[in-house]
Amino acid sequence: MDLEIRGRNALVLGASSGIGEAVALALAREGVNLAIAARRMERLERVAGRAGELGSPRVRAVTVDLEEERSIDAMMEELRRSFGAVDIVVLNGGGPAAGRFSDVALTQWDDAYRLILRSMLKVTKAVVPAMRAQRWGRVVALTSTSVKQPIETLVLSNAFRTALVSALRTLANEVASDGVTVNSIATGRVDTARLRELYDDDEAKLRRAGSEVPIGRTASAEEYAPLVAFLCGEPARYITGQTISIDGGLVRGIFG
């Protein structure tokens, strides 16, 4: 399917590996001009090279630390100068420290707020005005199944990812008549460095985690990316305000 976004400008955060990389490469195949951002330039350069091979006409790699406001400002200013307005943004970042409510210090709540919520809202507020002005735009946030079914040992993720989804759901209504769609993904167990960290990089634990998914295994990032790319495309213009699970059936609720 042609997603009709060739030549659009897309920004993918957390694009140096895992899900972010897979999404960036899926968009590259659609011929978008691609800005990819993360902390490590050497990894970004590798992804940028691959994106160019797959069909992205222009690729820009930009370093950013999402916990630092000045770093986000610098990224957005560089993109304005060298890349132009952002038509598509994929919000994606690292996960907060694991822990139960009784074990997490207040300072960790502050850190998680900056990483998961404030940073993503800051980027969104930077790109949405131009989207509204041109009457076309796509915002897709990559979150977690914790927004639908809280995870006992991830209280920070439960709280701030849910807050982000709620804020973006509100935004979706505000911008829908301007041709801008806003959606979120509730991410299940995808085989990434983050998942391996949560399971102590223990193969037995990872196999057990996969067996708890109705499909019977964890997902690959490449299985995850096509739906995200679709939501960024023109055929998805009537889909907005949704939180869609990619989880192999892990969330047991009727509405997934």
Q: What does the pLDDT look like over 40-75, one tens digit per residue? A: 999 999 999 999 999 999 999 999 999 999 999 999
pLDDT of residue 29: 98
Distance (Å, whole) CA 61 – CA 39? 10
Residues 6+ apart with CB under 8 A from 196: 206
pLDDT of residue 97: 84
pLDDT of residue 99: 92
Higher-confidence residue of 206 and 87: namely 87
Whether pTM > 0.85 for this model: the answer is yes
Distance (Å, whole) CA 250 – CA 145? 8
Residue with tokens 């023109």: 234
Mean pLDDT of the 160-169 span: 98
Q: What does the pLDDT look like over 93-145, one tens digit per residue? A: 988 888 999 999 999 999 999 999 999 999 999 999 999 999 999 999 999 99
Q: What does the pLDDT look like over 166-175, one tens digit per residue? A: 999 999 999 9
Q: What does the pLDDT look like over 214-246, one tens digit per residue? A: 999 998 999 999 999 999 999 999 999 999 999
DSSP output for 90-148: EE--PPPPPB-GGG--HHHHHHHIIIIIIHHHHHHHHHHHHHHHHT-EEEEEE--GGGT
pLDDT of residue 125: 98
Q: Please report which helix (H) or strand (E) contains residue 27, including its range.
A: helix 18-28
Q: Which amino acid is at 105?
A: A
Q: What does the pLDDT look like over 2-26, one tens digit per residue? A: 999 999 999 999 999 999 999 999 9
Domain boundaries 9-190+225-246, CATH class: alpha beta
Distance (Å, whole) CA 179 – CA 166? 20
Residues 6+ apart with CB under 8 A from 240: 172, 176, 181, 182, 183
For residue 105 the two structure tokens come to 């210090």
